Every structure is written in C-alpha cells, then in structure tokens.
Structure 1
C-alpha cells in the first residue's frame, strides 16, 4: 500500500480535497516507473477511483487475476503492472505548523508512482466562515482568494506532495 501525502500552508481555509464524485471524478495524475526494469513511462498517467477508462469499466488483469483502476504493460520489459485506489480522498486539515497528511491510499503492483501533479478541481471550506470554495487550481503552485463572510484573504501555498509506503 502507498499513500499520496500533502504538506501545505492553508490560510483561512481547511478541508482541502479534490472534487471527486461518481458524476465528476477526479483524475489523479502521476509519473510511473516499472519496478522491474526501472523504465519510466514517457507520459504522465491519470487514474480515477471510479473508473479506469473512458468506457467506465474496470481494467481486467491478464490471467483473470481480477480488476484494477489502472493496468500498464511496460514497453521495455513487457511486465504487466496495476494500481487500485483503496480509499476515498481524505480532506487536508489546516494546522499550525503545516503537517504531512494522507490524501488517498492505493495498492500498486509492479509499478511505482514517482511524482504527482495536482491537475483538476479542488475544494476547500472557509476556516471560520464555512464558505465553500470551488474550482481551486493548484497547478499554479499557489492559490489566493477572498472570503467575503470572513472579510479576509485566503490562500493555499508552499505545498509539497509525496508518495510513501503506508
């Protein structure tokens, strides 16, 4: 089992999480490396916990060993690898100082996620006001907005993503 973790400075917001529903799934985007030959896939890959391809079906593993959210055959060594997302996303809570917290857990076989890109829509809640913030884009490296109810600026910055054995 592996965990995608986040450490971030949240100012005025909490419960940072990807917008990830069956109707509007979040695609977790990673760089992938084969654990057998150490070949890195040339393109980033995206994995959804709700479905694994655009036909909304699970990918079958060869030899009828089951299904996974993502199946990949390494072009270098031809080994088949897979990944299944095991948990729902956990909201990142605002803390002082910022602490490393698990966002989501997954089980990967034969592949390793080496980096994560936070592409997609993120959500957060106003820390004191409860204001709902939608459409947060973390791809820029930081995010700023204004909380009308709290009459104050809010931000997410200095975030660091890591992939750890769980």
Structure 2
C-alpha cells in the first residue's frame, strides 16, 4: 500500500483560504496500474463520503475500486481520514498537500480540479461556494470588501509519502 499526496499550488489574490467542499468533493483523477503500467484515458471520480463494496476481503468497502483492463488486477484507493487541508494565503505560490490517498494497485497521475471548491475572501470578506477551477484561473468580486478576488496559475502534482 502506497500513500500519495495531492499537492496544489496557486497564486491567491485577496483570498484567505481555498478548500474542497469536503467530504463530498469529487477528486477527478487519471490513474495508472502499478502492476502493468496501464494508464487510464478517462477521468475517475473519488469521493470520501462514498464507499463501494466490490471486494469481500474488506467489509468497509473503498472510496474507489477498479479492475485493470490490461492485467485484470483489482485496485482500490481510499482517501485518508482527516487528511484534507486548506490552501491558505500563507501557502500562496508554493506547493502544499491538500489530501492523501491510500493506494492499492493504482496510483493517480493527473488531477482535474473542476467544480466544488470553497473560497474565503481576505479580511472576513465573502465566501464563495461551488467554485469551478477547471480553467486553472478564477476571478470574482467581493462586494463586502469592494475588491476583486482571484486564484491564478493553479497547478497540481502527486508525491509519494512515507507512512
């Protein structure tokens, strides 16, 4: 079992905090089979609040389960409890781990942020729900503070973590 951290980086303008609408946020990932190296062409969504029961060896189920098309290996991924972390103004411009996946046989190789983010403006300003980051940039106007807020140069990467 391998633990993989999803790290994000962004430039934040007048934003205190960027976070997923946890635990119902769907992480859209492209995956690679650790056994044969086959990489999926389609996006798979993994949501912490959802469990799938595919394997009789694990009564609790998994957040995600798939059988590799090439080698038929059964692979699963779970989101580690309480591993979700917000990306804050102090993190702006650098990479930070926002969630950890426990991977058995499959590893994430690409992330698509899409919709479902929560943005908190600086200085106790407005809070924006269901923000869509699929374009990697997002701009809005904080009417409470009379200024623009934005997220720019969104990037992501995966890192293997020690247990």
Whether the TM-score (by the shorter chain) exceeds 0.5 is yes
2:63 aligns with one of 43, 60, 69: 69
Q: Map of 1:29-68 to 2, 5 A cutoff?
A: 29-52=28-51, 58-62=52-56, 64-66=57-59, 67-68=61-62
Q: Map of 1:70-85 to 2, 5 A cutoff?
A: 70-85=64-79
2:90 aligns with one of 83, 95, 98: 95
Partner of 1:9: 11
Q: CA deviation at 1:97?
A: 5.5
Provide structure 2 residue ranges, at least 5 long, that are not aligned to the other structure: none
Q: 1:97 to 1:40 in 2, by over 3 A?
A: closer
Alignment check: 8 A CA contact 1:59 1:70 kept: no
Q: TM-score scaled to structure 1, two decimals? A: 0.87
Partner of 2:80: 86
Partner of 1:55: none
Instruction: Figure out how many residues of one structure are paired with residues of the other and give that number.
Output: 157
Partners of 1:86 and 1:71 in 2: how far apart? 15
Higher strand share: 2
Provide structure 1 residue ranges, at least 5 long, that are not aligned to the other structure: 53-57
Partner of 2:21: 19
Q: CA deviation at 1:98?
A: 1.6
| Runs of 4+ deviating beyond 6 Å | none
Q: CA deviation at 1:70?
A: 0.7
